[in-house]
C-alpha cells in the first residue's frame, strides 16, 4: 500500500468521504472485474461491487490500519460473492488440499508468448466454462498479482485449497490447449 | 506442462471489462446514504486503571493538602505528620519537600496527559482531533 493510499485509509477511517472516494477510484476496476468474473452479469456485478464499497465504508472505523486494505476489501467482495452464489464456497471447501501441486511461482507470461486468435478464443471459451470457484481464484492470482497466501486470506480458505484450485484450473486449460493442438 | 505460459497469456487477456461509466459517482451516492458503524465499546484494563490512578492521585493531593493546612487529621496522618516533622527538620524546612512534591505532581500530570492523548488517538471510535 502506497503512503498516499495509507493516508486515504486513515482519513476514511475518520469519516472523510473524499478520501474514501479516492480508495474507490483505485480499487473499483478490479473489484468490478472480480465480481463480473464470478457472477457473469454486468448489472449484478455493478450492484455487488457497489455493495462491497458501501459495506467497506460502514466498517471503515473497524479496519485495522496494520492490515492490508486491498486484502480486506477483496475479502468483503468475496464474501458477497459467497452470499450470491452459495455453491461457490461449497466448491472451494470441497477441493482436496493434498492434491499433487506443481504450480509456477510466477504468473507473468514471458514476452513473445503470443497465442493465435483461434487458440485464444478456445481458451477464453474454456475459462467461461470453468467453475466459478476456479475463475475466482485465477482472477485473484492473475489480475491482481496476489500471492497464494493473500488469496487464501481473501477467500478464507486454507493455502492448500487455494493452490489446488489454481492447479486444477490450469490443468483444465492445459488440456484445452492439448485438445486444440491435436485437432 | 502446468506452467505453460500460453495459459497465463490466455488468462490475462480474458475479458477485462471497463468500469461502467459513472460507477464511482453512483457508489459514492450510495455511500453518502449510509453512516459508518462505530465499533462497540470495549472495556480495556487501561479504562479501569486510569480512573483508579487519577482518583488515588487526587485523593492523595487532597489529603496531603489537608494535612498541610491541618484541616484533615486521620490517625495515619498523625504518624505522617510526625514523620514529616522529622524530615522537615532534617532538610531544613518545608520548601525543598514542597518543591519536590509540586515537581512530582507536575510531572505526573504531564505524563498522564501524554498517555491520554495516545489512548484517544489510538481509539478509532474517538473523533476528537488533537
Query: pLDDT tens digits, residue range A6-25?
Result: 899 999 988 889 999 999 99
pLDDT in tens, A68-124: 898 999 999 999 999 988 888 888 888 776 665 666 655 554 444 566 778 888 888
Nearest to B108 by CA among B119, B118, B100: B100
Give the residue, A149 or B74, on which the prediction is more confident: A149
Predicted TM-score of the model (pTM): 0.63
Q: 3-class DSSP state for residue A94?
A: coil
Domain topology for A1-84: Rna Polymerase Sigma Factor; Chain: A (1.10.1740)
**A156–chain B nearest CA distance, Å:** 23
The reported pLDDT for the residue numbered A119 is 82
Instruction: With cut-offs at 50, 70 and 90, classify the pLDDT of residue B57.
Output: confident
**CATH 1.10.10.10: which residues of chain A?**
86-183
Give the whole-angstrom CA distance, residue A92 versus residue B124: 35
Task: Check if B11 contacts A (Cβ < 8 Å).
Answer: yes
Average pLDDT, chain B: 77
The reported pLDDT for the residue numbered A81 is 92
The DSSP code for A62 is: G
Nearest to A37 by CA among A121, A123, A139: A139
The reported pLDDT for the residue numbered B37 is 66
> Angle CA(A60)–CA(A32)–CA(B13) in degrees, nearest 5?
135
Query: Which range, of A107-121, A136-150, B87-101, averages the lowest pLDDT?
Result: A107-121
Q: How far is CA A8 from CA A63, A79, A141, B15, in A?
A: 13, 24, 25, 30
Question: What is the signed CA dihedral for A148, A152, A157, A159, rounded to 10 degrees?
Answer: 40
Q: How far is CA A116 from CA A138, A177, A181, A182, in A?
A: 21, 11, 11, 15
Average pLDDT, chain A: 85
The reported pLDDT for the residue numbered B43 is 66
Task: Check if A77 contacts B (Cβ < 8 Å).
Answer: no
Nearest to B3 among A17, A60, A104 (CB): A104
**CATH 1.10.1740.10: which residues of chain A?**
1-84
Tell me the Cα Rg of chain B: 32
Question: Is the per-residue pLDDT at B130 higher than 60?
Answer: no
pLDDT in tens, B1-46: 556 778 888 888 776 788 999 999 999 999 988 876 666 566 677 7
Nearest to A50 among B6, B12, B27 (CB): B27
Per the CB < 8 A criterion, the answer to whether A52 and A31 are in contact is yes
Per the CB < 8 A criterion, the answer to whether A43 and B64 are in contact is no
Question: Is the per-residue pLDDT at A57 higher than 90?
Answer: yes
Answer whether A138 sits within 8 Å of B2, measured CB to CB: no
Three-state secondary structure readout of chain B: CCCCHHHHHHHHCCCCCCCCCCHHHHHHHHHHHCCCCCCCCCCCHHHHHHHHHHHHHHHHHHHHHHHHHCCCCCHHHHHHHHHHHHHHHHHCCCHHHHHHHHHHHHHHHHHHHHHHHHHHHHCCCCCCCC
Question: Is the per-residue pLDDT at B129 higher than 50?
Answer: no
Per the CB < 8 A criterion, the answer to whether A137 and A95 are in contact is no
Nearest to A28 by CA among A53, A47, A55: A53
**A14–chain B nearest CA distance, Å:** 7
Task: Check if B60 contacts A (Cβ < 8 Å).
Answer: no
Question: Is the per-residue pLDDT at A31 higher than 60?
Answer: yes
Assign domain A86-183 to its CATH architecture.
Orthogonal Bundle (1.10)
Per the CB < 8 A criterion, the answer to whether A57 and B38 are in contact is no
Cell numbers at A108, concatenated: 507473468
Amino acid at each position: 500500500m502506497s503512503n498516499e493510499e495509507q493516508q486515504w485509509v486513515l482519513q476514511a477511517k475518520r469519516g472523510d468521504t473524499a478520501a474514501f472516494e479516492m480508495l474507490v477510484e483505485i480499487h473499483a476496476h478490479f473489484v468490478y472485474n472480480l465480481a463480473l468474473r464470478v457472477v457473469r452479469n454486468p448489472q449484478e456485478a455493478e450492484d455487488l461491487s457497489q455493495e462491497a464499497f458501501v459495506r467497506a465504508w460502514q466498517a471503515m472505523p473497524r479496519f485495522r490500519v496494520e492490515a492490508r486494505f486491498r486484502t480486506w476489501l477483496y475479502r468483503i467482495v468475496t464474501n458477497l460473492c459467497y452470499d450470491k452464489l452459495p455453491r461457490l464456497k461449497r466448491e472451494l471447501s470441497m477441493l482436496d488440499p493434498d492434491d499433487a501441486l506443481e504450480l509456477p511461482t510466477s504468473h507473468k507470461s514471458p514476452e513473445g508468448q503470443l497465442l493465435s486468435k483461434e487458440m485464444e478464443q478456445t481458451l477464453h471459451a474454456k475459462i467461461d466454462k470453468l467453475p466459478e470457484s476456479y475463475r475466482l481464484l485465477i482472477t485473484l492470482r492473475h489480475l491482481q498479482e496476489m500471492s497464494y497466501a493473500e488469496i487464501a486470506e481473501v477467500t478464507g480458505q486454507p493455502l492448500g485449497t487455494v493452490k489446488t484450485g489454481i492447479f486444477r484450473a490450469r490443468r483444465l486449460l492445459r488440456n484445452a490447449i492439448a485438445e486444440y493442438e491435436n485437432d | 506442462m502446468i506452467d505453460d505460459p500460453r495459459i497465463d497469456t490466455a488468462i490475462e487477456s480474458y475479458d477485462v471489462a471497463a468500469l461502467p461509466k459513472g460507477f464511482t459517482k453512483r457508489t459514492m451516492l450510495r455511500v453518502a446514504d449510509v453512516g459508518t458503524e462505530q465499533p462497540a465499546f470495549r472495556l480495556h484494563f487501561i479504562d479501569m486503571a486510569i480512573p483508579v490512578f487519577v482518583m488515588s492521585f487526587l485523593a492523595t493531593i487532597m489529603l496531603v493538602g489537608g494535612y498541610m493546612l491541618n484541616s484533615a487529621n486521620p490517625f495515619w496522618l498523625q504518624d505522617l505528620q510526625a514523620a514529616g516533622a522529622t524530615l522537615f527538620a532534617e532538610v531544613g524546612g518545608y520548601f525543598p519537600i514542597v518543591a519536590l512534591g509540586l515537581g512530582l505532581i507536575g510531572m505526573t500530570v504531564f505524563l498522564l496527559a501524554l498517555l491520554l492523548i495516545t489512548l484517544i488517538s489510538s481509539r478509532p471510535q474517538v473523533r476528537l482531533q488533537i
